Amino acid sequence: MNSITINTPLDYFEVLTDKDFFDTSTSTNDVYRLNPNYGHGTVERVVLSEGVELAFMDMTFHKDVIYEYEIPVKFFEFAYCIEGRLTYGHYDRETHITINPGDTFYWINGSDKGWIKYHKNTRYNMIAIIYRDYFFNGLVEKSDEIKKIMFSTDKKSYTGFIKSSELILCFNQILFCKEEDKSLHKYMYLYSKVYEMAAIFLKENKTMQHIKSSLKLSKEDKDKIFEAKELVENNLVNPYSIEDLSRKVGLNTFKLKSGFKEMHQNTVFGYLRVCRMKKARRCLECSDCTVLEVANKVGYSNPSHFSVAFKKIYGVFPSELRNGVIKLPDGVESCSQ
């Protein structure tokens, strides 16, 4: 197992290159190629302006690698794990966090020391958006308030999960835009997305703070909410109503709806749409079913309503995917509220 330590406020890509994490002979300022001693693949870096950038990772490791960090600068990171499973941890805390394929999460950097583990024989396909606190300086009247929420004054780092249809759609749109040639409109479009995603986070943060302040869940409550999640997954065509689901698991509707949102970062019916759209995509890509047949398989009697719902999540109509007009990037999944 190899360990790489970062403990400087300098550009981390340059530091990782200096420490031979990236191959100095083949890397450039935009594309960093993994050292063959660790595996193969690249991290493509898109610097939009001073204070915000995007990173597209597609790497496979031949051995377990632990990336240790202690970075004494403030930054906020959005990330989307398309493929791969990695683990975050902190040396002053007993718990660790596992990131799985399909997870969208954020990381508020503190000054504490932590680690990230990449597992051998695993492909990591991820997108990250990194904001520095000064990116918001003078841009809006409430920039100080924004920085207080997104860049914690606490010295400890924090990782949280956040899922919404708006956020996932932004990640999908960024993936599509990445495939275009470098152009002014591409950078302007990406620039608009980093603002939009910050706004989504601020909205979701406000909602979750309100829920947490008024809700306490026991272990029995959590077990019942997990049971409700399984009932949703197994009844896509004829789903339960909130009232029926509440009676089935033995929770009142408020605790079910609020607890489901807290535990799964989504509403009950939002999660139902997630499951329906994931199954629909698999059917469209891996079977000979028509769009109408796929719609019926996931509980839509009206194919027009199905097409609108599918496009809202993936940015394309199901007919375009079914006929091969457009191919979605590997691993793109969705979550919807």
What's residue 140's pLDDT?
60
Among residues 165, 194, 213, the one where a domain terminates is 213
Question: Do 159 and 233 sit in the same domain of this protein?
Answer: no
Residue 132 belongs to some domain of the structure: yes
Question: Do 112 and 155 sit in the same domain of this protein?
Answer: yes
What's residue 212's pLDDT?
54
Residue 82 belongs to some domain of the structure: yes
Q: State both tokens at 275.
A: 């499951």
Question: Do 200 and 263 sit in the same domain of this protein?
Answer: no
Instruction: Quote the domain boundaries for residue 260.
Output: 219-322
Question: Do 115 and 228 sit in the same domain of this protein?
Answer: no
What is the number of structural domains in the chain? 2
Q: What is the mean pLDDT of residues 197-209?
A: 77
Q: State both tokens at 271.
A: 């999660």
Question: Do 205 and 265 sit in the same domain of this protein?
Answer: no
Among residues 180, 213, 246, the one where a domain terminates is 213
Question: Do 209 and 265 sit in the same domain of this protein?
Answer: no
Question: Do 142 and 177 sit in the same domain of this protein?
Answer: yes
Residue 335 belongs to some domain of the structure: no
Residue 328 belongs to some domain of the structure: no
Question: Do 203 and 234 sit in the same domain of this protein?
Answer: no
Q: State both tokens at 119.
A: 């597992």
Q: What is the mean pLDDT of residues 115-126?
A: 88
Question: Do 18 and 34 sit in the same domain of this protein?
Answer: yes
Question: Do 246 and 129 sit in the same domain of this protein?
Answer: no
Q: Which residues pair with 66 in a beta bridge?
A: 3, 117
Residue 331 belongs to some domain of the structure: no
The CA-atom distances, in angstroms, between 161 and each of 97, 101, 164, 206, 324 are: 10, 13, 10, 14, 33
What's residue 99's pLDDT?
86
Residue 156 belongs to some domain of the structure: yes
- SS3 state of residue 35: coil
Look up the CATH number of the domain holding residue 308.
Answer: 1.10.10.60
What's residue 335's pLDDT?
34
Among residues 213, 234, 254, the one where a domain terminates is 213
Residue 337 belongs to some domain of the structure: no
Residue 57 has pLDDT above 70, yes or no: yes
Rg, C-alpha atoms of the chain? 21
Question: Do 144 and 234 sit in the same domain of this protein?
Answer: no
pLDDT band at 8; cut points 50, 70, 90:
low
With left for phi above 0 and alpha for psi between -120 and 50, is residue 66 left, alpha or beta? beta
pLDDT band at 1; cut points 50, 70, 90:
very low
What's residue 314's pLDDT?
72
Mean pLDDT score of the chain: 81
**Backbone angles phi and psi of 260, in degrees to 5:** -60, -45
Q: What is the mean pLDDT of residues 191-216?
A: 75
Q: What is the pLDDT of residues 85-102, one digit of tens each?
A: 888 777 665 557 788 888
Q: How far apart are CA 16 and CA 204, in angstroms?
A: 33
What's residue 234's pLDDT?
94
**Residue 178 is inside which H or E element, if any?**
helix 165-178
Question: Do 195 and 259 sit in the same domain of this protein?
Answer: no
Look up the CATH number of the domain holding residue 204.
Answer: 2.60.120.810
Residue 243 belongs to some domain of the structure: yes
Least confident of 191-195, 266-270, 290-294: 266-270
What's residue 302's pLDDT?
92
Least confident of 38-42, 49-53, 125-129, 179-183: 179-183
Against a cut of 0.85, is the pTM above it? Answer: no
Cβ–Cβ < 8 Å for 280, 306: yes
